[in-house]
Structure 1
Amino acid sequence: MTTREVAAFLGLSAGTLCTWRYQGKGPSYYKVGNAVRYKIADVEAWKNENVKRVELTN
């Protein structure tokens, strides 16, 4: 997946993903030449690992 595709999938901007790559955060990625690519399985795994659970109290 491209940066734009991942950004749309996660509801983020492409700029956020670029910043996260620079900071060593976010889903795993690889490069083919200068092109950044993501494996869908890595993106989904990262998303599932970073879900925040909120308990509601009455």
Structure 2
Amino acid sequence: MNEPLTTGQQKVFEDLLKQIQQAQQKVLQQVNTTLIDLYWSVGETLSEKLSPVVRELHPAIHHVL
């Protein structure tokens, strides 16, 4: 049961490991892309919603400065 792997078996395990590593890399890239999309959307929403508030505060802030 504890016999060494044959060259063919070793190759199969190396191929499987490579597939797993490639899948992990792909998942990380997809997560990063999704997070960038989320952050962009959050920033866009904040900009749209807060822009009128900033414009309203601008004269008051300018007066204080």
* TM-score of the superposed pair, with normalisation by structure 1: 0.29
Task: Say which one has the larger Rg.
Answer: 2
If asked which structure has higher relative contact order (CA below 8 Å, sep 6+), I would say 1
* TM-score of the superposed pair, with normalisation by structure 2: 0.27
More strand per residue: 1
